[in-house]
Amino acid sequence: MNKKLEELFSYVFITIGALMASFSVACILIPNDAIDYGTAGIAIIVHKLSGINLSVCVAFVFLPFLIAGLLTLGRQFGIKMILGSVVYTVGLELFEEIPFELNTEHFLAVVFGGAILGAGLSLILKNGGCIDGSEIFANIVLKKISDKTGKNFSMTYLLVGFNACVYIAVFILINRSAALMSLLVYVVATSIINHMTDHFEAIKQVTIITKQPDELIRAIKEELNKTCTMMDSRGAIAGDNKTLICYVNYFELPKMKDIISRNKGTFSTVSTIDEILR
C-alpha cells in the first residue's frame, strides 16, 4: 500500500512540476523575450519564426524523443515522461490565454521565471519523470556507449553542448537580447535543479550491503545491463556481509531502487560521483 501511495504521489508531483514549468514559459519567459532550454527551446524558436501555435510546436518537437525514451528507457519511465510532456503541452495552451504581467524589470522577471522553471523540472526529475528531450537524448547516447564499452560517463557535456547549439540558434535566428536572457534562464534553472536533485546529470554510485548478493547481481545485470564490484565486509552486529558497488545514471536510479526493494535485508546508499578514473 505504501509503495502504491508513493507511486501515486509521484504522478501528482510530476503534474504539478509540469504545470509550474509551462506557467513559467508561457506567462513569464516568452513575454520577457526569453525562452526555455533543451528541446522546449527548439520548439519555441520554431514558434517564433513560423507563427505556428506554441503547444503544437512543442508536441511536434517532443514526439520523437518521447517515442525513443519509451522504447529504450522502460515502460514506467515512459509513462511518467509522457504524463509530464502532455501536461506541459496542455499547460502552455491554457496559460497562453491567461492575462499575467509582472510589473518589474526584464532581468528580474527572467530570474523569477527561471527559478519557477527549475523548481518545476526538479519536481519532475525527483519523481522519476522527464519532459526535456535533450536529457532523454543524452541518456540514450550514454546508455548505448555504456552497453558497448562497459564505461560510465556523465551527461553534463552532452547537455551543455546541446543547449549551446540552441542558444547559438537563438542568437542567429532571433536576436542577441533573447539569447542572453535565455542563457540567464538556463543558469538559474539548472542551479536550482542541481541543488534539488544533487546534480542529476552526474554519475551515481550505489553501495549495497547484503548477505545474499547473488539475486541482486543477477537482477542488476539482466535489468540494467550493469555489473558490480563485490567486496567482503563485516558489520559489528550483523557479522559477515558482501558490499556491492554499482554505477548508474540518474534515470537508471529508480530501477536500481526497485531492484533493491525486492531484495530484503539490504542496506544501501547513493552518492554523486564527479569523475571515474581508469
- Model confidence over 31-71: pLDDT tens digits? 888 888 888 899 999 998 888 888 899 989 988 888 887 77
Overall average pLDDT of the 176-191 stretch? 89
Residue in 129, 133, 161 with CA at minimum distance from that of residue 36: 133
Give the type of residue at 212. Q
pLDDT greater than 70 at residue 13: yes
Let me know: does 180 contact 192? Beta carbons within 8 Å.
no
Minimum mean pLDDT range among 37-46, 166-175, 256-265: 256-265
Could you tell me how many helices (H) and strands (E) the chain has, helices first? 10, 4
Q: How far is CA 223 from CA 74, 78, 113, 153, 227, in A?
A: 10, 16, 39, 19, 11
Sorted by where each begins, the domain ranges of the chain are 2-197, 203-273
pLDDT greater than 60 at residue 1: no
3-state helix, strand, coil in the chain (%, to 5): 65, 10, 20
Q: What fold does the segment set 203-273 form as a domain? A: Alpha-Beta Plaits (3.30.70)
Let me know: does 114 contact 180? Beta carbons within 8 Å.
no
pLDDT number for residue 278: 66
Q: Which residue has the cell 508513493?
A: 6
Residue in 116, 63, 85 with CA at minimum distance from that of residue 14: 85
Q: Name which residue leads in pLDDT, 239 or 185.
A: 185
Overall average pLDDT of the 77-96 stretch? 89
